[in-house]
Amino acid sequence: MLDADKQDAKLLEEAARAAGALILAHRGRPYRKWDKGGGAPVTEADLEADALLRQQLMGARPSYGWISEECADDSSRLAEAPVFIVDPLDGTAGFIRGKNDFTVSLAVARGGAPSAACIFNPTLDEMFIAVRGGGATLNGAAISVSAQATLSGCRMLGSRTMFEHPAWPERWPEMMLSNPSSIAYRMALVAAGRSDAMLALSSKNDWDIAAGHLLVTEAGGRASTHDGGELRYNLTDSVKPSIMCAGRRLYDLIHARVASIKLPRAGSQ
């Protein structure tokens, strides 16, 4: 664990709290929202939070690169060793519907791997923090993935439609399914042991999963693409084909069921 990573985590936490307060302020008044393409919603809260985060984070670390869901990608980030990976409002659809499952998701990546991470649910005041080699916490208390070792009865995060699709060669056992709006929040819940696993067989971007990836691994779990592929960040292409994470024993059971699936290349969903 580097002192720089600990300092980065503290910076991410402070910025996430500020962005969370800004987002919550929009819930008490009318705000603009629109479709930015492909059925993906965006609101003025997303854009204002992104601007605030860029000001705070880049103001403190001007030499870092930047990649965010709400900014046009700048390939200059590829030349930077540390890079901020930012989703200012993950789970916008949930935010619009008045749900409490959206987050601010922030990470720093060094050498292609996340080194500091923060996922903040402002509605529930849940602050998840991870530092590479330093463990993961929720509101300051250490967290770890669950010891669940069977699919039957596990708390699985993902689409019911996907799990109940008739094309599966073997039906999934009975599981407790839920599907929070924020991908980052799903991963944080797995890291905290409040859910046992999550699976999404649709493409995700760096900003969807980088912070959750570090949280899960620092909490003792595993995260990868559905076929076991390593997750690397700040590459030319930020899109990953899928994401799954769980405690180590449950991870192997899920991997055995999904590793052979061939997914089409698609934009982030």
Same domain for 12 and 73?
yes
Answer left, alpha or beta for residue 87, where phi above 0 means left and psi between -120 and 50 means alpha: beta
- Residue range of the domain that includes 174: 155-258
The predicted pLDDT at position 267 comes to 43
Same domain for 8 and 128?
yes
Same domain for 118 and 167?
no
Instruction: Supply the Cα-derived Rg of the chain in whole angstroms.
Output: 17
The answer to whether 116 and 9 have CB atoms below 8 angstroms apart is yes
Answer left, alpha or beta for residue 19, where phi above 0 means left and psi between -120 and 50 means alpha: alpha
The predicted pLDDT at position 79 comes to 60
Measured in residues, the chain has a length of 269
- Give 114-154 pLDDT, tens digit per residue: 999 999 999 999 999 999 999 999 999 999 999 999 999 99
To 10 degrees, the CA torsion angle through 204, 210, 211, 213? 90
- The mean pLDDT value for 12-19 works out to 98
What is the number of structural domains in the chain? 2
The predicted pLDDT at position 100 comes to 96
Q: Is the pLDDT of residue 69 over 50?
A: yes
CATH number for the domain harbouring residue 187: 3.40.190.80
Same domain for 179 and 60?
no
The predicted pLDDT at position 72 comes to 66
CATH number for the domain harbouring residue 39: 3.30.540.10
Q: Is the pLDDT of residue 86 over 90?
A: yes
Same domain for 234 and 129?
no
The answer to whether 174 and 153 have CB atoms below 8 angstroms apart is yes
Query: Quick one: pLDDT band at residue 71, thresholds 50, 70, 90?
Result: confident
Q: Is the pLDDT of residue 265 over 70?
A: no
pTM of the model: 0.95
- Give 186-213 pLDDT, tens digit per residue: 999 999 999 999 999 999 999 999 999 9
Q: Integer distance in angstroms from the first to the last C-alpha of the chain?
A: 33
> Looking at the domain assignment, is residue 150 inside a domain?
no
Same domain for 174 and 81?
no
State whether residue 2 is helix, strand or coil.
Answer: coil
Same domain for 198 and 98?
no
Query: Quick one: pLDDT band at residue 264, thresholds 50, 70, 90?
Result: confident
